[in-house]
Amino acid sequence: MSPITVGTLVPSQTFRVTRLDLVRYAGASGDFNLIHWNERFATSVGLPDVIAHGMFTMAEAARVVTDWIGDPGALEEYAVRFTRPVPVADDDRGSEIEVSGEVTEVLDNGRVKVMLTATYEGQKVLGNAVAIVRVA
């Protein structure tokens, strides 16, 4: 890996999320909120469709950093603000979350600050997504 400096881009990735992914995530997390699997309920509370779990979206975004650095244990801090839901249609295509990142600060002890951008259909779904990762 070449030297990491401010402005270093983290390779972008696109993650597909389907209703099956939501069911699997609900089972693993224990979050069976109806908005994540019942379209009738989700739309009755004003959502456009069933939506992906916020923590699922957050985890997919973190994968961009951990895949880039090659060590999930190197992710020392991670925080996001949920800004928009990711609707997931009941079809074979599902939805796509696009994630990119950029090093915005070189910190002490071989760590860097990475700002992530996660979007669905061109709109941000995570705000202030910041990862502190150990690179050395």
Taking every pair of Cα atoms in the chain, the longest distance, rounded to a whole number of angstroms, is: 51
pTM higher than 0.75, yes or no?
A: yes
Listed in sequence order, the residues at least 6 apart from 4 whose beta carbon sits closer than 8 Å to its beta carbon are 103, 106, 112, 135
Where helices occur in 34-97 by DSSP H, the ranges are 39-44, 54-69
Q: What average pLDDT does this structure show over 32-53?
A: 97
pLDDT (0 to 100) of residue 105:
98
Q: What average pLDDT does this structure show over 58-84?
A: 97
CATH code for 9-17+53-134?
3.10.129.10
Each residue's pLDDT tens digit, 101-128: 999 999 999 999 999 999 999 999 999 9
pLDDT (0 to 100) of residue 39:
95
pLDDT (0 to 100) of residue 22:
97
Residues 31, 127: Cα–Cα separation, whole Å: 22
Number of Cα atoms under 13 Å in the Cβ half of residue 120: 25
